[in-house]
Amino acid sequence: MKTYSFSHVLSSPELDQPNRFPSPAKLNLFLYINGKLPNGYHELQTLFQFLDFGDWLEIDIREQDDQILITPEISGLKTEDNLIYRAAKLLQKNTQIKQGANIHLDKILPMGGGVGGGSSNAGTALVALNVLWKANLPVHELAKIGLMLGADVPIFVHGHAAFAEGVGEKITYCEPKEKWFVVLKPACSISTALIFNAPDLVRNTPKRTLKTLLNSPYENDCEKVVRNHYADVEKALNWLLEYAPARLTGTGACVFAEFDREIDAQACFQQKPAELSGFVAKGLNVSPLHQMLKRYYLPNLFTI
């Protein structure tokens, strides 16, 4: 994977590209499943933090028509099923926008890794097109559209580290410590649907206040299920735990360990087993996308 951070690129004048938008990774610093609703969704409590690392979306507005063209094609995925395409079409529908867009995805994040790749891409598309098309929807309206695409998308729209409850729609901004993380991807992909449908998934963790959760050891209710079903994840977590506190993010397959200093995170990463891909990144409480918007487009008007 590429190793440069968003902050490196966005702080380098010679690399200024205002039509190139960060689509950051996220970590679930904790994840608890509180129950299952009649509609099949799960109630949860989770803490999201962004990473200074991720994909990029290059967006050029089409003035001549309202077509949404996505490149490159993703094998096995129809364009109309692509979350970027769906986000753009939903925004057009909700704002009556007649413009289109050419959108190129520079894919860096692992697919099926639990670091928010698809949800982040959708969130970046919504936020960036809202600005470029001058649709000017407020963040809470964009987040409602995002929720139609997935439970994690509103977090990327809001652009601030947050405690999420319900099915992900109840959001409280917060300020967890911005630590350094080693993120590793075992050689397997995990279906979120498979994990949430697993009979042995804990679904009755008692709800707790944010204050209580922030002052308790962080855990992930999905981790035991994933460990039991995926030996590669079990192996990666056991290796990371020799160096620092480590957990599964989301439903995986990515696992992460946290460090107070970059030098320690880098030292751990250099020792990783060859079969594991991954990266080192800083935790960020403000999304790199929103930092960019303030720099290029709305320095005085854009608020999260």
Q: What is the pLDDT of residue 304?
A: 40
Q: Let me know if residue 11 belongs to a domain.
A: no
Q: Let me know if residue 10 belongs to a domain.
A: no
Beta bridge partners of 47: 30, 163
Q: What is the pTM of this model?
A: 0.92
Beta bridge partners of 182: 257, 280
Question: Which range of residues forms the domain containing residue 140?
Answer: 18-296
Catalytic residue (choose from 16, 66, 107, 152): 152
Structure tokens, 63: 């003035």
Q: Let me know if residue 61 belongs to a domain.
A: yes
Number of domains in the chain: 1
Q: What is the pLDDT of residue 7?
A: 76
Q: What is the pLDDT of residue 211?
A: 95
* Helix, strand, coil shares, percent, the chain, to 5: 35, 25, 40
Q: Let me know if residue 60 belongs to a domain.
A: yes
User: Which residues of the chain register pLDDT less than 50?
Assistant: 1-3, 14-15, 300-304
Q: Let me know if residue 1 belongs to a domain.
A: no
Phi first, then psi, for residue 112 (nearest 5°) are 70, 25
Q: What is the pLDDT of residue 302?
A: 42
User: For this structure, is 26 an active site residue?
Assistant: yes
Count of residues in the chain:
304
Q: Let me know if residue 304 belongs to a domain.
A: no
Q: Let me know if residue 195 belongs to a domain.
A: yes
Rounded Cα gap, residues 5 and 53, in angstroms: 5
Q: Let me know if residue 2 belongs to a domain.
A: no
Contact 37, 167 (CB under 8 A): yes
Catalytic residue (choose from 26, 52, 179, 185): 26
Tokens 């947050």 sit at which residue?
A: 162
- 36-73 pLDDT, tens digit per residue, is 999 888 999 999 999 999 999 999 999 999 999 999 99
Q: What CATH number has the domain bearing residue 269?
A: 3.30.230.10
Q: What is the pLDDT of residue 299?
A: 52
